[in-house]
Amino acid sequence: MKIVKPDSKEKTLLVGFPSNGLVGTFAISYIINNLKMKQIGEIEVPDLPSTLFVEGGEILAPIRVYNKNNIFVIISDVPFNQFLADRFAVAVYQFCKKNMIKKIVIVSGMETVNQKKETPKIYALPTHPSLETLLYNHQIPKFLDGSIFGTDAAIITVFRKTKIPALVLYAECHPFFPDPEASIVAIVTLAKILDIKVDVKDIQKKIDRLRIQHRNLMEETLRVLKQQQEKQTGTPQIYR
């Protein structure tokens, strides 16, 4: 099969939010910093409790939009319960329609217990057949079996009914702690998809700092994930 490079004119949206191992939070934050992306807006989700963050004296909204050339990013610093996850998914879709986004890539974590200390694996779940070539070109194995809930499921549910293809990247990660190793695997995979260069040593330094900064976020994320699991009676955690 002929390898086709991504169309540099095609608008791509990356989405990150707190989930298992904070993989999406770390990976997307790194891409924002690595590409020196500029914040261009905020995303409002109905009924989201009023929350603001202060960083270096700057007031930041919990859900922000960044841009560099034809790459857009939506990143959330707050985890979503199922009700807010559905509303967030709709807000992401509305953003895509308004900005003529051609595909989106969501980064998340897949709970696993890596007893052998092997390099975490990453899998992809596409909503449209048009993304199968992308997986083949970059040798990303497909997510084959399992159950999905929460924000991941909310976004997939919305986009699988639209013409905008979505790809979810699931990196194997620790279920209870921020997982830098899984985040690095996700970043390297994203770099291949976006055709950008990344420095693995630089990634480790920045993620170690992010892990310290986001200890409280991990606790809040675990609380929300636990609530979501309890509502999924008889449904196992996402697995492969």
Q: Is residue 101 part of a domain?
A: yes
Segment 193-202 mean pLDDT: 84
Contacts of 59 (CB under 8 A, 6+ apart): 52, 53
Distance CA 151, CA 166 (A): 14
Look up the CATH number of the domain holding residue 84: 3.40.50.10900
pLDDT given at position 122: 95
pLDDT given at position 55: 76
100 DSSP assignment: T
Distance CA 200, CA 46 (A): 38
Q: Give the pLDDT band (50/70/90) at residue 146.
A: confident
Q: Using an 8 Å Cβ cutoff, are 93 and 158 in contact?
A: yes
Segment 3-26 mean pLDDT: 79
pLDDT in tens, 65-124: 999 999 999 999 888 888 899 999 999 999 999 999 999 999 999 887 655 567 889 999
Q: Is residue 90 part of a domain?
A: yes
Q: Is residue 2 part of a domain?
A: no
| pLDDT of 233 strictly over 60 | no
Q: Is residue 4 part of a domain?
A: no
Q: Using an 8 Å Cβ cutoff, are 185 and 139 in contact?
A: no
pLDDT given at position 108: 93
Range of the domain at 52: 12-228
Q: Identify the three-state secondary structure at position 124.
A: strand
Q: Is residue 6 part of a domain?
A: no
Q: Is residue 221 part of a domain?
A: yes
| pLDDT of 226 strictly over 70 | no
Q: For residues 78 and 53, which has the higher predicted lDDT (pLDDT)?
A: 78
Q: Using an 8 Å Cβ cutoff, are 115 and 91 in contact?
A: no
Q: For residues 90 and 51, which has the higher predicted lDDT (pLDDT)?
A: 90
| Angle subtended at Cα 198 by Cα 195 and Cα 199, rounded to the nearest 5 degrees | 160
Q: Is residue 236 part of a domain?
A: no
Distance CA 49, CA 31 (A): 27
Q: Using an 8 Å Cβ cutoff, are 207 and 184 in contact?
A: yes
The count of domains in the chain is 1
Whose structure tokens read 């899998």? 123
Distance CA 27, CA 17 (A): 10
| pLDDT of 61 strictly over 70 | yes
The whole model's pTM is what?
0.83
101 CA to centre of own chain? 16
pLDDT given at position 240: 30
Q: Is residue 173 part of a domain?
A: yes
